[in-house]
Each structure stands twice: as structure tokens, then as C-alpha cells.
Amino acid sequence: MKTLREILYNVNILQVQGNNDIAVQALFIDSRQVKAGGVFIAIRGAAADGHAYISKAVAQGAAAVVCETLPETTAPNVCYVQVANSAQASGIIAGNFYDNPSHQLKLVGVTGTNGKTTIATILFRLFTQLGYHCGLLSTVQNQIGDRIVPATHTTPDPISLNALLADMVAEGCLYAFMEVSSHAVHQQRIAGLKFAGGVFSNITHDHLDYHKTFDEYIRVKKSFFDNLPASAFALTNLDDKRGNVMLQNTKARKATYSLRSMADFKGKILENSLTGLVMTIGVKEVHFRLIGEFNAYNLLAVYGAAVLLGEDKDRVLAALSNIQGAEGRFDYIISKNQRVIGIVDYAHTPDALLNVLATIKNLRQGHEQIITVVGCGGDRDTAKRPVMGEVAAEHSDRVIFTSDNPRSEDPAEIIRQMEAGVAAPQRKKTISIADRREAIKTACSLAQQEDIILVAGKGHEKYQEISGVKHPFDDKQVLNETFELFEK
């Protein structure tokens, strides 16, 4: 077991009050979880300030407290450590506590507005297929080899994150692939991690509720690359307007991928249909099972990262050609009689929705209608709502606005904000049905032979959060059931 002194290694400490030669049993950032002998790290958050809960943590048996401001009254037998930045300290402390697992395997982080889950998941599947034992940290789920650990966040808090990485090391993983969300970068959930590589997918409008301005959102994403070590690689998408900016100040080895211009990893789409993609990558022509131009980018990112990690190009392409996408990402089923195509996709940003609709347009033979069912999450970026309304109406033949996860918000109000973005000539295409199940059923009843239904926004999610309660809900299952009901 480690001592407090040991786990404070590399932390920017201002002062220590009390004995730091004590054994540390566990780490906590939430006072409600604190157990005897644990260290409580008080963090100033978005909604609360952990400093307000120091006395509660001590009452529950905390042996030490790490904080930015020392409390006025302190308890005897408790060690108080004042640090410059508690959030950052929590990452470094968690790393030390778990023997810095990120130093003991090769950790690759994927950041960007869209494509993180897809890229990280395909990397995990690819490296597993290449014979390595791997870990995955993603929105859909975390994985240690084939053991699944449910995910609560895209990027977990630093304690859970390092604990998961330590389990990966203990179980013999050589690689870990993780999504790095902008929230995580900003909240220093990744502080103290050693990355072997960083991948950038793209950056578009999202999370402005949190980051306030697009410039700040870019700055936060960029800081992930700024902090990569010289031993890492930094791989960026040259076709994104901000692709180069991301690598401006990085010490890491720079590399690029592109479908449009000269790059280290250059691809070209030859065919794009419901049966997959045919692309040239370098000098090779390869067939992939993944669908759509955006997946051509994801595949290039994966290919580039694998080659930068030292894998053989031909082996990588051979393995990649058979790999399937992540759950709820362009996941489709086809009804038996009417051959209606139902697509479930996690597109929950204007850009992702546009991409997915453009992909569907490319795939259709000509006469089929595109019927889109879409909503926007509550307690999240409100600015994206009218834009998603506009995109859905502009690029579909029929649209049904519905609820996503309303969370604490009024579903009808979210829908009104989406409707407000719809241009006047498109309005007759749209209807609004707040109940998501009813909305999907209505889409199915509107669909004629071979029409395409897109159910967007929730992808793999198995619940719908309404007024703070998570009700079981699965878009793909509802689509399946409705198809069966209608075609009985």
C-alpha cells in the first residue's frame, strides 16, 4: 500500500499540514463515497464546490484532504494538503496510487466532435484481431479484453480511469484505446496520463453550453495535443479546417490523413454503398464493411494510428476490411416484406446529422423517401437545436421531431426550438410527436416499400432520461418490433 507522501509525487503542493507518512486506502473526489482511511480531494466543479464538503468527508473518516484552500477549522489526525490545482492533482494522485498504469501500456487517445467512439472501438477491434490483449474506454462501454465494464461517461473521472487502466495492465493489456472528450480535457480528467499517441477526428458545433465559445472549445481540444510528449505521435485530419491548428504547438511526432489532399495517410473513395466502402489507401485497393464517407475518415485515422504504432500496412488493411462499426453507429435493419431500411445512428450534432443524411442520400437508388426521427438532448447545448431541425428538414422527405433525453427540460419546449430552425417551405414536411416510441411507429406507418427511416441521436443508448429518471428504451429494438408488428 502506498503512503500519502508517495502518491503526492509530482503534484504542485503549496503546503502540508499534518503527517503525510500515512498509508492510503482509497481515493475519493465525492464526499458521499468517502470511507475510513481514504483521501478526499476537494474539487471546484461546475455545479458544486468540493471544498464545501471537506468536513463531511472528515466526519466519514477521511485520513487526508487535498484542497486548494485550507478549511478554517481542521481536525487533528487528518493531514491537509494544499495544492495549486485540485483537479489536476486528482489525475496525478490517481496515477501514482495505481502505479501509473498509462506508463505500462501504450495508451492512444482519440478526440474530436464526432467519430471518437468509432475510431477508438475500431482500433480496439483491430489490435485485438492482430493478436494483442487490449483495453477500451468509450461512450458505449469500457472493455478489458472481452470483459465489459459499463461506462458512465465518455471519459471517466481520473480515479475510475486510472483504476480501469490498472486492471488492464494487471490483465496483460499492451494497448489501451480511449476517447478523450473535451469535458475531460477541461476538467483535467486526463492529467498525469502518458499517451503514446493522439488522434484528431474533426471539430464542429457542440457543447457550447459548456465551453461557451467555439474558440474556447478549439483551445481545449488543442491543449490535449499541446501536452503530448515528444515520444508520442499526433495524427490529424487535414480535411478539417482546424486539423493543422491542433498540431501547431505539439512536441509529438506529427502525421496527417486526408481524402482530399497530400497527406501521410491518403485515401480515396472508389465506391460507397450499403454493402460498404471501396477505397484506395496508399497504393492498395480495399473493401470495407463500414459505410459512408465519414467512416472513410474514421478508417484512415485507424489505419494511420496503427501504422504509427509500428504495425505492418498490409496486415492492418487485411484485418480492417472485415471489421464492423460500433453499436448504434449507422446500425441498420431491413424489414422483411416491404424492404424498408431502418437506420439507428448516434448523430446528435448538426454535423453528424448532416453526414449521416448525406450518406443515406448517396446510398439511395432514387425513388425512396428518407423519413427522419430526431430530437435533441435536454440540459445540453441549446444552440444546436434549430440547426439540427433545419438540417433534418432540408435533407429528408419527412421529419418527425421527437424527444431525445429531455433530462430536466420540458420535451415540448426542446421540440419547439428545433422547429424554429425549419425554413418555411420545409415546414409541411415535419410533424412533432414527443413520445419517441410513437414517433418511430409513425415513421414506420408512413414508410412505403424500400423507404429509409433514420432514427437519430441515441444510437446504442438503452434508456431514455425523462425528468431525471432513466426509462428502458432502445431505438433499434423499437424499430425491430414495429417492423414485425406492421408486417405480420
Ligand X SMILES: CC(=O)N[C@H]1[C@@H](OP(=O)(O)OP(=O)(O)OC[C@H]2O[C@@H](n3ccc(=O)[nH]c3=O)[C@H](O)[C@@H]2O)O[C@H](CO)[C@@H](O)[C@@H]1O[C@H](C)C(=O)N[C@@H](C)C(=O)N[C@H](CCC(=O)O)C(=O)O
Residues annotated within the binding site for meso-2,6-diaminopimelate are: 380, 404-407, 457, 461
Question: Environment class of residue 390 by beta-carbon count within 10 Å: exposed (0-12), middle (13-18) or buried (19+)?
Answer: buried
How many residues make up the chain in this entry? Answer: 488
| Residue 280 grid cell | 484506395
Task: Specify the residue, 104 or 154, whose C-beta has the smaller distance to ligand ATP.
Answer: 154
Does 154 contact ligand X by CB under 6 A?
yes
Does 50 contact ligand X by CB under 6 A?
yes
Least CB distance from residue 182 to ligand ATP, whole Å? Answer: 9
User: How many residues in the shown chain lie near ligand X by CB under 6 A?
Assistant: 19
Task: Specify the residue, 336 or 462, whose C-beta has the smaller distance to ligand API.
Answer: 462
Within 124-143, the residues that bind ligand X by CB under 6 A are none
Does 289 contact ligand X by CB under 6 A?
no
| ∠ CA 188-200-393, rounded to 5° | 105
Those residues whose C-beta lies under 8 Å from the C-beta of residue 31, and which sit 6 or more positions away, are: 40, 50, 53, 54, 56, 57, 60
Out of 151, 352, 418, 422, the residue judged to bind ligand ATP by CB under 6 A: 352
* Chain residues that interact with ligand API, rule: CB under 6 A: 139, 154, 348, 377, 380, 404-405, 457-458, 461
**16 membership: H or E segment, kind and range:** strand 13-17
- Cα separation, 329 vs 299, in Å, equals 14
Binding mask 125-154 for Mg ion (x = CB under 5 A): --------------x--------------x
Instruction: Give CA 69 to chain center in angstroms.
Output: 33
Interaction partner, residue 466 (ligand X, Mg ion, ligand API, none; CB < 5-8 Å by kind): none
Least CB distance from residue 404 to ligand X, whole Å? Answer: 13
Binding mask 74-113 for Mg ion (x = CB under 5 A): ----------------------------------------
Q: Are 473 and 463 in contact (CB under 8 A)?
A: yes
Binding-site entries: 31, 112-118, 154-155, 181, 187, 189, 380, 404-407, 457, 461
Within 441-480, the residues that bind ligand X by CB under 6 A are none
Does 121 contact Mg ion by CB under 5 A?
no
Interaction partner, residue 407 (ligand ATP, Mg ion, ligand X, none; CB < 5-8 Å by kind): none
Q: Which of 162, 125, 129 is nearest to 143 (CA)?
A: 125
Q: Are 202 and 302 in contact (CB under 8 A)?
A: no
Interaction partner, residue 186 (ligand X, ligand API, ligand ATP, none; CB < 5-8 Å by kind): none
Question: From start to end of 99-161, where are the E strands?
Answer: 106-111, 134-137, 141-144, 147-150
Does 297 contact ligand ATP by CB under 6 A?
yes
3-class secondary-structure state, position 17 = strand
3-class secondary-structure state, position 26 = coil
Task: Specify the residue, 38 or 328, whose C-beta has the smaller distance to ligand ATP.
Answer: 328
Backbone angles phi, psi at 476, to 5 degrees: -65, -40
Within 111-130, the residues that bind ligand ATP by CB under 6 A are 112, 114-118
Work out whether the CA dihedral 238, 108, 309, 314 comes out positive or negative.
negative
Within 261-320, the residues that bind Mg ion by CB under 5 A are none
Interaction partner, residue 115 (ligand ATP, ligand API, ligand X, none; CB < 5-8 Å by kind): ligand ATP
DSSP code string of 78-115? -EEEEES-HHHHHHHHHHHHTT-GGGTSEEEEEESSSS
Half-sphere exposure of 52 (CA within 13 A, CB side): 5
Binding-site entries for ATP: 112-118
Task: Specify the residue, 202 or 372, whose C-beta has the smaller distance to ligand ATP.
Answer: 202
Does 217 contact ligand ATP by CB under 6 A?
no
Least CB distance from residue 405 to ligand API, whole Å? Answer: 4
Query: Interacting stretch for ligand X, rule CB under 6 A, among 26-34, 192-200, 228-236, 303-311?
Result: 26-34
User: How many residues in the shown chain lie near ligand ATP by CB under 6 A?
Assistant: 23
Does 155 contact ligand ATP by CB under 6 A?
no
Q: Are 293 and 358 in contact (CB under 8 A)?
A: yes
Within 444-463, the residues that bind ligand ATP by CB under 6 A are 459
Interaction partner, residue 405 (ligand API, ligand X, ligand ATP, none; CB < 5-8 Å by kind): ligand API
Does 157 contact ligand X by CB under 6 A?
yes
3-class secondary-structure state, position 474 = coil
- Cα separation, 252 vs 233, in Å, equals 5
User: How many residues in the shown chain lie near Mg ion by CB under 5 A?
Assistant: 5
Q: Are 173 and 105 in contact (CB under 8 A)?
A: yes
- Give the alpha-carbon dihedral of 243, 189, 73, 76, to 10 degrees: -140
What residue number has its CB nearest to ligand ATP? 115
- The residue assigned the cell 430530437 is 375
Footprint on this chain of ligand X (rule: CB under 6 A): 29-32, 43, 45-48, 50, 53, 153-155, 157, 181, 183-184, 187
Footprint on this chain of Mg ion (rule: CB under 5 A): 116-117, 139, 154, 179
